[in-house]
Amino acid sequence: QVQLVESGGGLVQPGGSVKLSCAASGFALDVYHIGWFRQASGKEREGVSCIRRGSGHTVYADNVKGRFTISRDNANNTVYLQMRSLKPEDTAAYYCAAGLDSSCLFSGGMDYWGKGTLVTVSS
């Protein structure tokens, strides 16, 4: 069965860092575009970052550019999101997703989703 499992979330202070993992089973991650999305309490889900299949090119939302880095480890079939200089507004449930749609920050183009991991940025 195709499955995506996120991990690495937790409580972090403003200005701190955390690295999220998205482990895939049932398919190879490099066959799909992989995106990270987040949804804060009372807010709509938004695309954060994605890494494209084949080329490995990366895309970031404007509000995380320079702070977040997405990467892929094909040997472990895992995609990561390294988050730095975290702000309280980064607090959200973070989800990874896989799809063939090249507009990889668009949640509607994703076919498979993980259940999410919660990141809380607070003092």
97-114 pLDDT, tens digit each: 999 988 889 999 999 999
User: Which tens digit of pLDDT belongs to each residue from 49-107?
Assistant: 999 998 999 999 999 999 999 999 999 999 999 999 999 999 999 999 999 988 889 99
pLDDT of residue 94: 98
pLDDT of residue 101: 85
Beta strands in the chain (DSSP E): 3-7, 11-12, 18-25, 33-39, 46-51, 58-60, 68-73, 78-83, 92-99, 112-113, 117-121
pLDDT band at 117 (very low <50, low <70, confident <90, very high): very high
pLDDT of residue 29: 87
